[in-house]
A and B are shown apart, each in its own frame.
Chain A
Amino acid sequence: MPRIRRRGGSPWTGLGAVVAKEAADHLSSARMYILEALVFLSALTAAYVAIRTIRATIGESPFLFLRLLTLSQEPLPSFISLLGFLIPLVAIALSFDSINGEFNRRTMSRILAQPIYRDALLLGKFLSGLLALGVGLVSLWLLVLGLGLVLFGVPPNGEETVRMLGFLVATLAYGGVWLALALLFSVLFRAPATAALAALGVWLLFALFWTMITPLVANAISGPPEGLFGPRIEYLDTAQIIDRL
């Protein structure tokens, strides 16, 4: 007799309750205060850099507000690279102990004895992390936009607004990737410290070592960088593709 593998009931039963509870936990946790502090500091950095350099470059680009995001001045990095650096850290901090923490508090068996599927618990944890991250990012975005308004005295034009909104969505998606990765590690490793270290290891790999690995891999795929007639285009293409990953 073939066994029917279909299970009854929606996999999303209880999702709302999980999201509500986890989001409330996040929003009242010490981690959220750290996230808020980082948001505030990042916005100040962007504004500071802008004040120092924007007057020199004011006529160069029609997209004044976008310059606010991309300008850098020694020793401060640009706003974008600052975010690229911070968001993985914040995302990892939000979810590295979400599943193994339930195990260690021994709350897992009580939760799973309720009529929900594991999917709902995992997705609920992810969505609540994304929500907390979203709250931080939206407030950061609004802060920077507001600072820009005050500094420049002109509103952003339509294209700038759209591109900045796109930037917001992209950063949130970027944060989501790291949130999901940290969640995965929290399922795989029983000890939260191990999960955090594993996630940070992956982050370090991409943040620091990737630029070192790129030429090696490109070399292996497309041959040596110098041909008979100067730098080879294939090499540069491959290096760039890997770099942008």
Chain B
Amino acid sequence: MAGDIVIRAEALTKRYGDKVAVDRIDLEVRAGEIVGILGPNGSGKTTTILMLLGLTEPTGGRATVSGFDPLREPLEVKRRVGYLPDQIGFYEGLSARDNLTYTARLAGLTRVEIDARFADALGRVGLAESARARVSTFSHGMRQRLGLAEILMKRPAVAILDEPTTALDPHSTQEFLAMIRALKNDGTAVLLSSHHLDQVQSVCDRVALFNRGRIALAGTVTSLAGEVLGGGHVIDVEAAGADIAGRLSALPGVVRVQPLGPNLYRVDCRHDMRAEIARALAPSAELTGISFAAPSLNEVYNRYFEEARNAAD
């Protein structure tokens, strides 16, 4: 169902002096796909974004966005890409309309196009009543949505969102994620950088995990879970009794046991061990629940970096 490839990076590299910020990364994003890019601060996410936009020159490798090279034809690329920077600012003294009109003029839209798209874009982000209000009266969430409206007006092939939900309240976050899904339905390819793993998991089709300038892992959350958590058989056990954790870890085939709460344990195992666990606990413990746990990106992320740290030591 995915469309044409709109972002392609091949061995893209950026060095600042001796320091390698981005190290030979390969990335493909198709139309109508939401790809999450994750990783600690300073792992090369923003540098990659800037290279894709043509705002920074790569030291090696190549990238194409909608078939254009950001290095040679940055204007063609930027005409097709909407970018929401992580720290967004507007001209405080101007109205929402004047702010967006300015960037739309810079984007090369005509007056007629601006008039036609403005109301629609502002309506979609829920700011229709604030069109004439000065941006200085806007809350953080409204500014973020105004930034998204700017992207909508451009009708880009690619939208790059750099930590768009940081510092939004839970309700605004859900609304914002819904707007991102709407972009996907328009056929826009979305590159979403975020630290909120549960949000990434809920909207992204695929994720790419950055570590020290490289893409350490890439794929769907389920496939990453298989890779990192080993087999992907994670079972939640709800049981009351003495030394449940110890008895669980003693079972052959159990990789790891993690207490999640009172009488709740998460068990990683090599194969489906629900029956064996039930049998082992039955004699002396009160088993109230046993089920497969959905792999969470949070877990994948933490486990990966735990292992990476252990490997480095």
Contact = CB atoms under 8 A, between A and B. Distances in A.
A184 to B, nearest CB: 21
Contacts of A13: 75, 108
Contacts of A113: 53, 55, 78, 81-83, 85
A232 B259 CA distance: 96
B83 A21 contact: no
A9 B89 contact: no
B75 A9 contact: yes
Interface in A10-31: 13-14, 17-18, 20-21
B227 interface: no
A110 B103 contact: yes
Nearest to A11: B75
A114 interface: yes
Contact of B75 (A4, A8, A107): A8
A110 B151 CA distance: 10
Given A14-B108, A115-B108, A116-B106, A110 B147 contact: yes
A55 interface: no
Contacts of A115: 74-76, 78-79, 106-108
B73 A18 contact: no
B70 to A, nearest CB: 10
Contacts of A105: 89-92
The SS class assigned to the A binding surface is loop
Interface string B105-140: 111100000000000000000000000000000000
Q: Which interface residue of A4, A7, A110, A113 has the most chain B CB atoms within 10 A?
A: A113
Contacts of A21: 102, 105
B201 to A, nearest CB: 27
B107 A114 contact: yes
Contact of A8 (B73, B81, B83, B89): B73
A14 B107 CA distance: 8
B288 interface: no
A116 to B, nearest CB: 5
Contact of B106 (A4, A7, A9, A14): A14
A110 B73 contact: no
B311 to A, nearest CB: 36
Interface string B277-298: 0000000000000000000000
Given A106-B88, A114-B107, A115-B107, A17 B102 contact: yes
Nearest to A29: B93
A18 to B, nearest CB: 7
Contacts of B72: 4, 6-8
Contacts of B78: 113-116
A61 interface: no
Contacts of B102: 17, 21
B199 to A, nearest CB: 22
A170 interface: no
A9 B74 contact: yes
B103 A7 contact: no
A13 B105 CA distance: 10
B310 interface: no
A17 B88 contact: no
Interface string B35-59: 0000000000000000001010000
Given A18-B106, A105-B92, A117 B75 contact: yes
Q: Which interface residue of A9, A20, A115, A116 has the most chain B CB atoms within 10 A?
A: A115
B73 A7 contact: yes
A142 interface: no
Interface string A52-76: 0000000000000000000000000
Contacts of B147: 110
B150 A116 contact: no
A100 B10 CA distance: 34
Interface of A: 4, 6-9, 13-14, 17-18, 20-21, 105-107, 109-117
Interface of B: 53, 55, 71-76, 78-79, 81-83, 85, 87-92, 102-103, 105-108, 147, 150
21 contacts: A7-B74, A8-B75, A14-B106, A17-B106, A105-B91, A106-B87, A106-B89, A107-B89, A109-B83, A110-B88, A110-B147, A110-B150, A111-B106, A112-B55, A113-B82, A114-B103, A115-B75, A115-B76, A115-B108, A116-B106, A117-B74
